[in-house]
Amino acid sequence: AFGTILKALAKIAAKVVKKLATKPGATYMLKQNLQ
């Protein structure tokens, strides 16, 4: 059951990343996270 939850979270995270990637602020957010 725990594995399925992790898979679901991974899918959601991938969707969020794709949405952020289309926005101009994505590069700014990535730079902030890398620092």
Q: Copy the structure tokens of residue 14.
A: 């991938």
Rounded Cα distance, 12 and 9, in Å = 5
Please state at what angle helix 2-21 crosses helix 26-34, rounded to 10 degrees: 120
Top-confidence residue, 29 or 2: 2
10 lies in which domain range?
1-34
Q: What is the pLDDT of residue 15?
A: 86
pLDDT of residue 33: 74
- In angstroms, what is the C-alpha Rg of the chain? 13
Is the full-model pTM beyond 0.75? no
Number of domains in the chain: 1
Per the CB < 8 A criterion, the answer to whether 20 and 14 are in contact is no
**Confidence check: pLDDT of 9 > 80:** yes
